[in-house]
Amino acid sequence: MDHGTTWLTTSLIYLAAAVLAVPLARALGLGSIIGYLVAGIVIGPWGLALVTDAQTILTVAEFGVVLMLFLVGLELEPSRLWAMRRPIFGWGSVQVISSALLMTAAGVAFGVAWPVALAASLGLAMSSTAIGLAVLAERNVQPTAAGQGVLGVMLFQDVAAIPILALLPLLPVAAQQATAATAGSGWLTAAKAVAVIAALLIGGRLALRPSLRWIARSRTPEIFTAASLLLVVATAALMHAVGLSMALGAFLAGVLLAESEYRRELETDLEPFKGLLLGLFFIAVGMSIDFAVVLAQPGLVALIVLGFVAVKAVVLVAMARTMNVPLAERPLFAILLAQGGEFGFVVFQASAQAGVIDATAASLLVAAVAISMLVTPLALVIVDRFVTPRLASRGAPKLDEIDQPQREAVIIAGFGRYGQIVGRLLLANGMQPTVLDHDSEQIEAVRRFGWRAFYGDATRLDLLRVAGAAEARVLVVAIDDVAQSLALVDLAREHFPQLTLVARARNVQHWYQLNERGVAHIERETFDAALMSARSVLEALGFERHQARNLALRFRRHNLEQLQESAPHFRDESRLIAMSKIGRQQMEQFMADERARKDSRRQASGWAGAASDEAGDR
């Protein structure tokens, strides 16, 4: 088979596997990551054996993780990263060190030699950045307390990888085949690492933006894409050359560019590469599970998986409690960090090379980590179905959460862009609403401007009571999340029937659902802004400003009438489509009639003239 055909066949297999497995997994409600992992197992050496070189693929696909961290870095301006230094270094080190120590102790207790136990524990303490961040992105929970915690710990793990890899060769060697690694080279590596990071930071600050500007000026979109990729590849290569985590380097490059004007462009250019490579990475993880090892000692593998996940989970639950992660978010936090990670593979490989652990133990550990990565998305599905709903409805008040009873006339739930505008108009007229938001950073920010803002999940009954929902007159539901918004509306209608609900609808479907619940004041968040733009368009085309205003307002009224009319059928999609078509025709007819009437009146000279005297010129 010549080279071209191999490439074609391989692409064919991967793409087909992904295209089949992922939609299937999502349809089953399992999330895309499980889809990729299962696809990997199916096409891998222990499935249909369509592909056998999992390791090669894994190396290529690791670049997906690198790209992902670059993109995560792009979202974090240096100032925000600096603000996160405590969660990163504080909680990150707590997680890695206490998990590793506990696992080492457990290993020693089971009669494993301490150097082996320590090396294995350090590898097992790592969590899968790929799965963790992909899950955070898939669920859009990056800004929550749990999301920030997960991100912080994972960033620390990437940093910690450097000293861990430097430390491994220093451990007493189990077998006789000690490699040439010496203590000296460990320190040298560390020094090189620091030098490269410093160079990256300084060089990045000075050179990155000017060069991107120069490239952007060439006005060749694909060259900008190429430059984006080159930037990440070059950073990764540089880090790799000095034995650092490629992902960490990419992350730093991302942070350096987070404030640049090219942030969005870089993001959109790299997003598809990241997605596909990450998928490939998961497929490779699925393929690399060595079922021979697992089948040889299934009990031992199961014990290792359960053991290390349990130990890490204990540490994480304790951490989540101290970190004040909301109760409902704790399972996500614990599960995402309790799993093993791809970096564990590297640690085991390095340990095996250094002779700290033997090859069999290494492949046993690799299998355990891979299985934990496979189980994680499944565990999340189970937790989502059965645990989180129960946790969400109870839980003790947390730090910074609303605790003093409030008695303002208005409560605003959700204080993002939408809620803030509502709040500002109220404040300008001397009313101080009680504000609830689940984003602690947001709360901190608006408090600085003097808002009576409280951290808390507005869909919790006890919190609503403390916020004064029983005495308030109006509840503004301005939450981003549709499900949460509907949950809050249900809760308010059931327990605080005196509240007038004023709701923000994200889209028409959301509008229908709010309407179905009897909410009288619903505004679609973009509708009026778009109408104003349409007015500007009409004006730019030469319409009189007042005519443009009348046309837009009439359109608005007509549109609302149609929405009300179609509301009872919103679950019947075909009916809805048919109605909206008829509605559009009616609208066009209505506007055309109006134009025709105007024109005809214009021509009926006599009476129009009388009108200009008696009834006014229209």
Partner 1 sequence: MARIVVLCAHPQLEHSRVTHALARAAAGRDLPQVEVRDLYALYPDYLIDVATEQSALADAQLVVWLHPVHWYGMTPLLKLWADDVLAFGWAYGPGGTALRGKDLWLVTSTGGSAEAYRPDGLNRYFFDAFLPPYEQTAQLVGMRFLPPLVLHGAHRVGDAALNDHVQTFVSRLASYPDWPEIEDIAPCDVREVPAIDRPAEAD
Residues 6+ apart with CB under 8 A from 562: 579, 580, 583, 586, 587
- The yes or no reply on residue 221 touching partner 1 (CB under 8 A) is no
When asked if residue 608 is in the footprint of partner 1 (CB under 8 A), the reply is yes
List the structure tokens of 10.
């391989």
Q: Which stretch binds partner 1 (CB under 8 A): 11-19, 51-59, 391-399, 549-557?
A: 549-557
Q: Does 606 bind partner 1 (CB under 8 A)?
A: yes
CB of 586 to partner 1, least distance (A): 13
Query: Within its chain, how far is the Cα of 490 from the centroid?
Result: 27
> What's the CA gap between 15 and 20, in Å, rounded?
8
| Position 558 contacts partner 1 (CB under 8 A) | no
605 binds partner 1 (CB under 8 A): yes
219 binds partner 1 (CB under 8 A): no
The dihedral built from the CA positions of residue 591, 597, 603 and 608, taken in this order, carries a sign that is negative
Q: What residues are paired with 505 via a beta bridge?
A: 524
Q: Which of 75, 554, 559, 567 contacts partner 1 by CB under 8 A?
A: 554
- The first and second tokens of residue 557, run together, are 């009224």
Q: Identify the residue among 92, 550, 566, 570 touching partner 1 (CB under 8 A).
A: 550
User: Considering all CA atoms of the chain, what is the largest pairwise distance in Å, rounded to the nearest integer?
Assistant: 113
Number of residues located near partner 1, criterion CB under 8 A: 20
Two structure tokens written together for 465: 């009571």
530 binds partner 1, rule: CB under 8 A: no
Among 80, 85, 557, 575, binds partner 1 (CB under 8 A): 557
In 218-290, alpha helices (H):
221-241, 246-257, 263-288
**Of the candidates 467, 463, 443, which has an alpha carbon nearest to the alpha carbon of residue 453?**
443
Classify residue 401 by its DSSP letter: B
Q: Does 532 bind partner 1 (CB under 8 A)?
A: no
Q: Which of the stretches 78-86, 309-317, 397-405, 597-605 binds partner 1 when contact is defined by CB under 8 A?
A: 597-605
Judged by CB under 8 A, does residue 612 bind partner 1? yes
Out of 183, 230, 578, 615, name the contact with partner 1 by CB under 8 A.
615
One-letter amino acid for residue 288 of the chain: S
Q: How far is the CB of 618 from partner 1 (least distance, A)?
A: 6
Is 618 a binder of partner 1 (CB under 8 A)?
Answer: yes
Quick check: 595 binds partner 1 (CB under 8 A)?
no
Residue 514, classed as helix, strand or coil, is helix
Report the residue number, 16 or 610, with the smaller CB distance to partner 1. Answer: 610
Backbone angles phi, psi at 285, to 5 degrees: -60, -45
Does position 607 interact with partner 1 (CB under 8 A)? The reply is yes
Q: Is 553 in the site for partner 1 (CB under 8 A)?
A: yes
617 binds partner 1 (CB under 8 A): yes
111 binds partner 1 (CB under 8 A): no
546 binds partner 1 (CB under 8 A): no
429 touches partner 1 by CB under 8 A: no
Distance between CA atoms of residues 366 and 371, nearest Å: 9
Question: Which element (helix H / strand E) includes 100?
Answer: helix 92-109
- Which one-letter amino acid corresponds to residue 175? A
Q: Which is nearer to partner 1, 28 or 610 (CB)?
A: 610
Smallest distance, partner 1 to C-beta of residue 549, A: 9
Cα(497)–Cα(54) distance, rounded to whole angstroms?
60
Q: Does 611 bind partner 1 (CB under 8 A)?
A: yes
Nearer of residues 299 and 606 to partner 1, judged by Cβ: 606
Query: Is 162 within 8 Å of 245 (Cβ atoms)?
Result: yes
User: What DSSP assignment string belongs to 484-512?
Assistant: HHHHHHHHHHHH-TTPEEEEEESSHHHHH
545 binds partner 1 (CB under 8 A): no
> Tokens 């910074």 sit at which residue?
400
Q: Which stretch binds partner 1 (CB under 8 A): 92-100, 285-293, 311-319, 551-559?
A: 551-559
The residues of the shown chain that bind partner 1, judged by CB under 8 A, are 550, 553-554, 557, 601, 604-618
